Copies of this chain bind each other. A is one copy, B any other.
Amino acid sequence: MTTITPASAVVLQPTTDAELEQRLAAAQTAAAPLAALRPAERAGLLDAIGDALDAAAGQLIPEAEQETHLPEARLRGELKRTTFQLRLFADLLRDGGYLDARIDHADAEWPMGAPRPDLRRLRVPVGPVVVFAASNFPFAFSVAGGDTASALAAGSPVLLKAHSGHPGLSRLTAEVVTSALREAGAPDGSFALIAGTAAGAAALRDARIKAGAFTGSIPGGRALFDIANSRPEPIPFFGELGSNNPVFVTAAAAGERGAEIAQGFVNSFTMGAGQFCTKPGTLFVPAGSGMVRALRDAALPPAAPLLNERIQSGYTDVLRGLQANPRLATLAEGSDPLADPPSPTLLLTTAADMLSEPHALQTECFGPTAVVVTYDQESELPRLAETFEGQLTATVHGTDTCQVSGLVEVLVRKAGRIVWNEWPTGVSVTHAQQHGGPYPATTAVGSTSVGSAAIERFLRPVAYQGFPQHLLPEALRDDNPLRVPRLMDGRREA
């Protein structure tokens, strides 16, 4: 049974230099034994964390409600998603495919012109990582969220830099995680919480840390990215930064179900008070299609409190800038868009204005605001899509007869996930998920921070040449005791 410090007693002080040194040393010490665990043993650790979080829901949820202003139902759903995610990575470990194991037997007749040695390759953990938690998902992208789950799954110890937006919840969650790991037999130092901007940056600079992961703002993420890359030994930094998530509505779709799309869009951009990295920030609709009126008439939800004062003030700053832009008019708004809590706002512009000033009009506004853009011809859409920087998502609402392959071709270059006739908010945790796109959506263009492929961020391949069986990792031995799927001389093993 896990014992947790009562929430009322929780204080999260900035980590001191001495504490950080102790945690870095412990993480480094944990790296070898954590890596040496069989995948199924690490799976047991993840399951134990999931079970402990579920068991602690009664303490975690109220603390989260108090610190984040998010409603209980949302938080319960997010906790469920978080424990599901831990168990999905556990299943991935038991399957073994994530190792990408490959065996090429020695071949004296290898047509390269020189004999091929016996080469066997698999993925090993990168070593200790530092994870920077996000504010907007206090469970799923925080202490025990996807980055932590995928790094521990990979076998990399985690230093978790808590987000200042929910310090009490961070500490409670970390206590659940550390005691679950301890009880399940994980090496000491496999996981530790750190707090404070300085400690986070210092950890990222430390030579013992081998990768970083982050979810948050473009300026904050870029600063950390620059630290990671300017080290004497640069390390990979997986930052998930900003995204506008544009949505394109064809004339046929507007004609067929304009009101439904309008309401769907309002529901999506106001979901979670607009505080999702996948919030659709721009909607392109055909001029004269009735979509503008449908959007004006759509039911806006009531004002909802933002996560914290910093986000509230950042939101109103950006919104004031948009409201002051002469290219933007107000299309719909609630009682007071700039109040605390803010009511939702829809702004309106034209395709010509968007082409004139794309950067300003596409500024990410983290809260319940979106921009509607009217266009005249569908043939303009690819050019409008080209004005966007890298995106997490891009969405098309069309019909089966729409000629949108040119638009989709542009969007595939711009975004990590392309959505058809659905909404980008609500990122499912699956094997085929891709939550990451070209910069600034992500700092590491080929990576995802959601879904089972997120584990790849914390692994690196190693090849063994000419090794005797007893010195090989089990997954590369001839008898394959773990039944790991392998690529054998270029062919997938049956």
Contact = CB atoms under 8 A, between A and B. Distances in A.
Interface of A: 31-32, 36, 77, 80-81, 84-85, 91, 95, 97, 102-104, 110-114, 116-117, 119-121, 124, 126-127, 210, 225-226, 229-230, 233-236, 389-390, 400, 404-405, 408-409, 412-413, 415-422, 426, 428-434, 436, 438-440, 443-446, 448, 452-453, 456, 459-468, 470-471, 485, 487, 489-490, 492
B490 A431 contact: yes
A460 B464 CA distance: 27
A32 B413 CA distance: 9
B81 A112 contact: yes
B462 A416 contact: yes
B104 A84 contact: no
A465 B422 contact: yes
A353 B30 CA distance: 30
B459 A446 contact: yes
A481 to B, nearest CB: 17
10 interchain residue pairs of minimum CB distance: A434-B463, A102-B432, A121-B432, A80-B113, A119-B432, A104-B432, A104-B430, A417-B463, A419-B465, A229-B229
A365 B436 CA distance: 41
Contact of A114 (B77, B420, B485): B77
Contacts of A405: 471
Copy count, this protein chain: 2
A143 to B, nearest CB: 19
A120 B77 contact: no
Contacts of A490: 91, 95, 431, 452
A468 B420 contact: yes
Contacts of A36: 409
A466 B433 contact: no
A34 to B, nearest CB: 12
Contacts of A117: 422, 428
Contact of A460 (B102, B445, B456, B460): B445
B400 A468 contact: yes
B463 A418 contact: yes
A155 B39 CA distance: 35
A113 B31 CA distance: 33
Contacts of A421: 466
A462 B434 contact: yes
A466 B420 contact: yes
A202 to B, nearest CB: 20
Given A119-B433, A234-B439, 4 more contacts: A104-B433, A114-B426, A116-B428, A233-B438
